[in-house]
């Protein structure tokens, strides 16, 4: 451990870690849920909950990385616990003098990006970290960093709960009260987890599902309806000349327009049709168990609803539809829908263009903007 800088309170920190009796414990679904949420929230292939022992890093839960332990000298999290009141972000480990010679950086899995939020106990001891990693340089948005720090607090709450439960066994006369407190805290943690999961799948501006949620939804349709030969379709909706609204009136007005268009689309979606925001001025409509003709009629109703909506700054939309087939994948569907959308724009905008699964035929509403 000669190359590892130690926290100023290392002796007390190690005593606290031992006192929690969490090292070398069996896998735990609550901690696995936390790393799954961390990877989803930060959009990284790897995430871990780690604990820093005297000479080793021990992994309580992981996704994209093996559990077990490694030398503390090789741990990136041992550096994170030196800053217990803030997350440590390393945008490119290969360019950081602290880590460029680390075996996990220059060898497998060739970590380039790392972000770790310390697990800080109520007494101020940093036991380890909730961390996310990627194989390419990158950074996190403030929202993602806040989610990572929130998950670290939840991990500490789980550790505290387990110690409380052990103490509960030594106080049988107070069992009912302690169990009530434990259950209430557990329910609160589960609610927070559910909210974090929801946040990773929701567009903050419109309240619609986001691109990640749409991709998961579309993948599910491909694996079910497509495999059984049931027709389905996907459409991409683009607000016509939206950039001019932002340029002329400013982004706050553009945000209002995006919310109003989202409401109009959802209002005509109907049952089993899911509308999500892809990003910018684009939305996606996933239509399971829907023929191309029915999808065209549905999207034409959405187009008309947007055109007829009462808005401070009226807009229209162009829509491209792709028919799905069992041999499709998500990128292929998006590509065909994008091509149909391009033809809708080329044809004058404010119209619906659909494309067959083989990509050779299309139809247009013939509307003019």
Provide the β-strand partners of residue 133.
Answer: 46, 114
Residue tagged active-site, from 167, 192, 281, 356: 281
Domain with CATH 3.30.450.40 in the chain: 10-200
**What is the pLDDT tens value at each position of the chain, 369 positions in all?**
335 789 999 999 999 999 999 999 999 999 999 999 999 999 999 999 999 999 999 999 999 998 999 999 999 999 999 999 999 999 999 999 999 999 999 988 999 999 999 999 999 999 999 999 999 999 999 999 999 999 999 999 999 999 888 777 666 556 666 677 777 777 777 777 766 666 678 888 999 999 988 988 888 888 887 556 788 999 999 999 999 999 999 999 999 999 999 999 999 998 889 999 998 999 999 999 899 999 999 999 999 999 999 988 999 999 999 998 777 888 989 999 999 999 999 989 999 999 876 665 455 543 433
Q: At what angle do helices 175-200 and 29-42 cross, to 10 degrees?
A: 20
- CATH code of 10-200, in short, is 3.30.450.40
Domain with CATH 3.30.70.270 in the chain: 211-364
- What 8-state DSSP symbol labels residue 327? T
CA 313/CA 249 separation, integer angstroms: 10
Is residue 281 annotated as a catalytic residue, yes or no? yes
211-364 placed in CATH 3.30.70.270:
yes
Biggest CA pair distance of the chain:
78
187 membership: H or E segment, kind and range: helix 175-200
């Amino acid at each position: 451990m000669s190359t590892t800088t130690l926290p100023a309170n290392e002796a007390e920190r190690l005593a606290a870690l031992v006192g929690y009796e969490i090292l070398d414990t069996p896998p735990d679904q609550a901690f696995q849920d936390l790393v799954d949420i961390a990877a989803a929230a930060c959009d990284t292939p790897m995430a871990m909950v780690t604990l820093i022992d005297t000479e080793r890093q021990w992994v309580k839960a992981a996704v994209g990385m093996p559990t077990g332990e490694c030398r503390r000298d090789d741990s990136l999290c041992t550096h994170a616990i030196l800053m217990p009141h803030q997350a440590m972000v390393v945008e490119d480990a290969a360019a950081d003098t602290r880590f460029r010679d680390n075996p996990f950086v220059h060898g497998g899995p060739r970590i380039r990006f790392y972000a770790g939020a310390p697990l800080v106990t109520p007494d101020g001891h940093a036991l380890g970290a909730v961390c996310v990693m990627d194989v390419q340089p990158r950074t996190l948005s403030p929202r993602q960093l806040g989610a990572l720090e929130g998950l670290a607090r939840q991990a500490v709450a789980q550790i505290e709960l387990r110690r409380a439960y052990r103490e509960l066994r030594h106080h049988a006369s107070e069992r009912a009260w302690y169990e009530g407190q434990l259950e209430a805290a557990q329910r609160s943690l589960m609610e927070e987890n559910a909210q974090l999961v929801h946040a990773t799948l929701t567009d903050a501006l419109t309240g619609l599902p986001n691109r990640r949620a749409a991709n998961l939804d579309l993948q599910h349709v491909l694996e079910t309806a497509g495999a059984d030969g049931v027709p389905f379709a996907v459409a991409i909706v683009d607000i016509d000349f939206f950039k001019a609204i932002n340029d002329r009136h400013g982004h706050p007005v553009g945000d209002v327009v995006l919310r109003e268009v989202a409401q109009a689309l959802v209002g005509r979606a109907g049952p089993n049709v899911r509308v999500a925001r892809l990003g910018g001025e684009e939305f996606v409509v996933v239509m399971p168990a829907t023929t191309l003709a029915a999808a065209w009629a549905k999207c034409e109703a959405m187009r008309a609803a947007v055109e007829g909506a009462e808005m401070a700054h009226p807009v229209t939309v162009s829509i491209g539809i792709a028919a799905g087939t069992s041999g499709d994948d998500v990128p292929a569907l998006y590509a065909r829908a994008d091509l149909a959308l391009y033809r809708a724009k080329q044809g004058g905008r404010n119209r619906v263009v659909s494309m067959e699964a083989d990509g050779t035929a299309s139809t247009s509403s013939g509307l003019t903007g």
